[in-house]
């Protein structure tokens, strides 16, 4: 490899690391105390819904769940998929965990799947597993140790807060995004229009 090629590769790696650091280091810079020492990026409460013609394909998302199983979101093609970015140290994630679980239970028979992505920057898999047990999460979550899954969502509607919730349509395109904690009304307001679309 030439010196120029090595420099280009190092620069690309630095950009990816900087993006992960921005998402996660900002967690220590803005609102909301969590156990007095850790802080989180508070979402602005915005929700964006995109018309079918405005949607871009979601990135390939595959990894290992907290239970050690392989999961590829492509296997859910043909269903509406809710992707929730969370962390065990995030108090809004704790606050919305029951809403996510109950909404999953309510909608899974209608062709909706839920998948969590645990931001691994400041988290550990043991803490993530304890969180999932505490909140009786029955849908799978993947542990994103190097934040590669989070970083894959560059472009149209990137997750820029913890928590962030995305809804993918039946074709695997990003149809909606909510920054910050979701309640049942907000979550169903993202899912139901996508679910109502002709398959």
3-state SS record for 50-103: CCHHHCCECCCCEEEECCCCEEEHHHHCCCEEEEEEECCCCHHHHHHHHHHHHH
Cβ partners under 8 Å of residue 154, min gap 6: 19, 59
pTM of this prediction exceeds 0.85: no
Q: Is residue 182 over pLDDT 90?
A: yes
Quickly state the pLDDT bin for 153 (edges 50, 70, 90). Answer: confident
Judge contact between 137 and 129, C-beta under 8 A.
Answer: no
* Residue 174: φ, ψ to 5°: -75, 115
Can you tell me the distance from the alpha carbon of 169 to that of 80, in angstroms, rounded to the nearest whole number?
5
Tokens of 94: 């704790």
Number of domains present in the structure of the chain: 1
* CATH number (domain holding residue 141): 3.40.30.10
Q: Which residue has the tokens 């472009």?
A: 155
Burial of 122 (0-12, 13-18, 19+ CB in 10 A): middle
Closest CA to 123 of 90, 97, 92, 99: 90
pLDDT tens figures, 70-111: 999 999 999 999 999 999 999 999 999 999 999 999 999 999
pLDDT tens figures, 28-83: 323 332 223 233 345 567 899 999 999 999 999 999 999 999 999 999 999 999 99
Q: Is residue 9 over pLDDT 90?
A: no
pLDDT at 155: 73
For residue 36, give its domain range: 3-195
Helix axes 184-195, 91-107, angle to 10 degrees: 40
Q: Is residue 23 over pLDDT 60?
A: no
Quickly state the pLDDT bin for 1 (edges 50, 70, 90). Answer: low
């Amino acid at each position: 490899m030439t010196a120029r090629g090595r420099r280009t590769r190092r620069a690309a790696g630095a950009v990816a690391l900087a993006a992960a650091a921005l998402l996660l280091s900002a967690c220590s810079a803005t609102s909301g105390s969590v156990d007095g020492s850790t802080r989180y990026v508070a979402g602005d409460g915005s929700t964006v819904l995109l018309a079918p013609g405005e949607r871009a394909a979601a990135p390939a998302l595959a990894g290992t769940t907290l239970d050690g199983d392989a999961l590829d979101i492509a296997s859910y093609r043909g269903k509406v998929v809710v992707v929730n970015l969370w962390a065990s140290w995030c108090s809004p994630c704790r606050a919305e965990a029951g809403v996510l679980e109950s909404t999953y239970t309510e909608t899974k028979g209608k062709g909706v799947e839920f998948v969590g992505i645990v931001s691994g920057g400041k988290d550990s898999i043991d803490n993530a597993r304890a969180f999932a047990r505490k909140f009786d999460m029955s849908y799978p979550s993947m542990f994103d140790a190097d934040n590669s899954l989070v970083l894959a969502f560059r472009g149209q509607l990137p997750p820029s807060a913890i928590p962030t919730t995305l809804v993918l349509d039946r074709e695997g395109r990003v149809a909606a995004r909510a920054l910050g904690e979701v309640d049942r009304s907000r979550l169903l307001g993202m899912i139901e229009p996508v679910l109502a679309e002709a398959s």
